[in-house]
Amino acid sequence: MRTNWTVNQMPTQQGNRVVITGASSGIGYQTARAFASKGAEVIMAIRNVEKGEEAVRQIKLENPGANLKLMMLDLSDLTSVRKFAHEFEQSYDSLHLLINNAGVMTPPYLKTKDGFELQFGSNHLGHFALTGLLLPALNNETTSRVVTLSSTAIKGAKIDFNNLDGSKGYKKVEFYRQSKLANLLFAQELNQRLRENGSNTISLGSHPGRANTNLYSLGSGKPTSLFMKIVVKLIGTQSAEMGALPTLFAATEPSLNGGEYIGPDGKGGNMGFPEIDSSVLKLYESETMGRLWKVSESLTGVSYLS
């Protein structure tokens, strides 16, 4: 049943501390904006400080009392991830919510500072490491959540364990799909492991459908090209504000128990209001999820939960 859930249905977030990666634009910005409006302490984990400062300015124009803090985070650099976690630990003893939102989409073949293919390294491995390093703070809350964003692009995706770095061939769309499938499988495997360990933290996944964000600049960091603007118009998209609703629902809806995947309720999950998306259940292969977890621990050097 469709409920047309909006930000108006979000519970108050007074007293809650939220970390949002990639919060300076697109879905991340709209997510930060919504949490600020509900009274949360919002830590905007961003790579581009100048863009982050402009995002803070914009949010405070409509909500002067917003409790916002910028912290530098480059998910393509594990040293930066560890530095962020250390600085967080020095300033705070607990975390109510982590939203793994940041991502890059279909760039040319590039590698992270640690030698990983850029999309798998930033979209998945960076968030895998960050979550593990922040888990002690999450567990210090009575209840807490991790929400990791995936994408409709997972349709037809697979994890190619024999070519994770792209050295045996690189197709940017396939590697984007792989990274977002990794996000989905990580969210589910994390929830299972949290449950098995009796943790107070739950993990959920979400996706924005087809939301018109700067991801359509194809990872260049530049404004979306005229060609891509035409493509976006032809395929049909919804606003970033609407695209943020599944994430906000996953992060705050009291009835959710962990393990759910939230997306738009429209045809194909492309547009609409948030609902539980059960179409992904067939993708949860325990062997693949377990192997991805072990590989991720090995590549990042971050181990958590047995």
| Position 305 pLDDT exceeds 90 | no
| Position 252 pLDDT exceeds 60 | yes
- Give the model confidence (pLDDT) of 275-285 as tens digits: 999 999 999 99
| Position 110 pLDDT exceeds 90 | yes
3-state secondary structure string, the chain? CCCCCCHHHCCCCCCCEEEEECCCCHHHHHHHHHHHHCCCEEEEEECCHHHHHHHHHHHHHHCCCCEEEEEECCCCCHHHHHHHHHHHHHHCCCCCEEEECCCCCCCCCCECCCCCEHHHHHHHHHHHHHHHHHHHHHHCCCCEEEEEECCHHHCCCCCCCCCCCCCCCCCHHHHHHHHHHHHHHHHHHHHHHHHHCCCCEEEEEECCCCECCHHHHCCCCCCCCHHHHHHHHHHCCECHHHHCHHHHHHHHCCCCCCCCEEEECCHHHCCCCEEECCCCHHHCCHHHHHHHHHHHHHHHCCCCCC
Predicted pLDDT of residue 211: 83
- Give the model confidence (pLDDT) of 223-249 as tens digits: 544 444 444 444 458 899 999 999 999
| Position 193 pLDDT exceeds 50 | yes
Predicted pLDDT of residue 2: 56
Average pLDDT over residues 254-278: 94
Predicted pLDDT of residue 1: 45
- Give the model confidence (pLDDT) of 113-128 as tens digits: 999 999 999 999 999 9
| Catalytically active residues, by annotation | 170
pTM as predicted:
0.92
CATH number of the structural domain 13-210+244-300: 3.40.50.720
